[in-house]
Amino acid sequence: MRSPFLGSLVSLAAQQHGLFSADQADALGVDPQRRHRGVQSGLLKRVHPSVYLFATTELTRSGAALAAVLQSGSGATASHESAFWLHGLGRLVDFAPVVSLPPGGRAAQVGYRVHRHCDLVDEHRCEIDGVPTTTLARAVVDTTSVLSMGRLAWLVDELMIRERLLTVGEIGRCLRQVNRRGRRRIRNLQTVLDERLPGGFVPRSRLERRVDEMIRSSCLPRPAVEFPVPGWTRGPGFVDRAWPDAKLILEVDGRPWHARESSMAQDRARDRAAAAAGWQTLRVLDEEIANVGAAVIADLERAYAVRLALRT
């Protein structure tokens, strides 16, 4: 397998747990025949059909996660149980190479599991040890589909209480961003979060004071209060806060998850009515206000700037 390009391939693999993909090798000028000879000579091991490992390198669990990502191609992200191991929390879940892919991505191969997604936003992505993966909050939301209720509750308590790595607000924010019908066992996570809400239900007056304090400390102008729902014709209705100049609405929900779910149809109907009238609605949770307020304000400031630019 000697070639002037081998040194570049070795250097690349050294940064990737001893691994490289066929696409990467092709880009460096190492053709399939040379790779085949490398396997025959014992210099390389084939981990997956399009992923190779230098035989002098041990395949670690991080490497196994990366191998699945490399085999899966563009847009692949290590997720679920793999994400916990990459975050250094392997004691909490059994190891399994798992990859999340956008629709239309490559099919799974023997040795790892694939989940299809349409909601992996940039906020849920990170890189650990050279492996693209999901944030810890997203890993919790994703693994809900493979954990029992008891195991999930234990996992959340370990992360929130013992490890102090996550808050109800951080998990709740991620869940809100991806919550949709069809997510397996997602109600289990909603129940677990409800049981861990500090102080339970938040009075409306206190919730509004929190929101107004945050807005005053931001770059946002003062919003309108008790603003009628734009386009709403099914009786009286008001939004929490609104910026008419940008046609932007903020709705903050302090209800438990089961109450939110029961009102979801009406909430979406209000949002559709506002959208038809040219307004954008941002819905956030009280847990977010309490735990990740800076992220909420950043969302609002970004949305306000975009909306205002569109209208000028």
- pLDDT averages per 10-residue partition of the chain, 312 residues: 70 95 93 91 94 95 96 94 96 94 80 89 95 97 94 96 95 90 84 81 74 94 94 90 97 83 85 96 92 95 95 76
Same domain, 83 and 13: no
Residue 32 lies in a domain: yes
SS3 assignment, position 125: strand
The pLDDT, as a whole number, for residue 197 is 80
The pLDDT, as a whole number, for residue 110 is 83
The pLDDT, as a whole number, for residue 161 is 93
Question: How many helices (H) and strands (E) would you count in the chain?
Answer: 14, 12
The pLDDT, as a whole number, for residue 189 is 95
Same domain, 84 and 109: yes
Q: What's 174's DSSP letter?
A: H
CATH code, 248: 3.40.960.10
The pLDDT, as a whole number, for residue 56 is 92
Q: Which residue, 195, 227, 248, sits at the end of a domain?
A: 195
Q: Which residue, 59, 82, 97, sits at the end of a domain?
A: 59
The pLDDT, as a whole number, for residue 62 is 95
Q: How many C-beta atoms lie closer than 10 Å to residue 228's C-beta? A: 12
Residue 137 lies in a domain: yes
Same domain, 78 and 114: yes
Same domain, 24 and 134: no
Contact 78, 68 (CB under 8 A): yes
Q: What distance in Å separates the CA atoms of residue 270 and residue 140, rounded to the nearest whole number?
A: 30
What are the distances in angstroms from CA 293 to CA 140, 167, 216, 257? Answer: 20, 12, 13, 19
Same domain, 187 and 268: no
Q: Which pTM value belongs to this model?
A: 0.85
Residue 232 lies in a domain: yes
Q: How many C-beta atoms lie closer than 10 Å to residue 164's C-beta? A: 8
The pLDDT, as a whole number, for residue 103 is 85
Q: Which residue, 59, 80, 98, sits at the end of a domain?
A: 59
Full DSSP string of 28-75: TT--HHHHHHHHHHTSEEEEETTEEEETTS---HHHHHHHHHHHH-TT
Q: Which long-range contacts (CB under 8 A, 24 or more apart) does 31-35 make?
A: 34/1, 34/3, 35/1
Same domain, 155 and 220: no
The pLDDT, as a whole number, for residue 300 is 96
Alpha helices, H only, 124-199 = 136-143, 149-157, 168-178, 186-195
For residue 50, the one-letter residue type is: S
The pLDDT, as a whole number, for residue 89 is 96
Per-residue burial over 94-110, b = 16 or more CB atoms within 10 Å of its CB, e = otherwise = eebbbbbbeeebbebbe
What are the distances in angstroms from CA 234 to CA 114, 134, 264, 269, 273? Answer: 44, 41, 16, 10, 10
Distance between the two ends of the chain, CA-based, in angstroms?
61
Same domain, 235 and 191: no
Same domain, 69 and 173: yes
Residue 214 lies in a domain: yes
Same domain, 11 and 100: no
Residue 297 lies in a domain: yes
Q: What distance in Å separates the CA atoms of residue 264 and residue 171, rounded to the nearest whole number?
A: 19
**Domains contained in the chain, number:** 3
Same domain, 68 and 190: yes
The pLDDT, as a whole number, for residue 202 is 61
For residue 40, what are the domain limits? Answer: 6-59
Same domain, 160 and 115: yes
Same domain, 210 and 284: yes
Residue 1 lies in a domain: no
The pLDDT, as a whole number, for residue 213 is 94
Residue 115 lies in a domain: yes
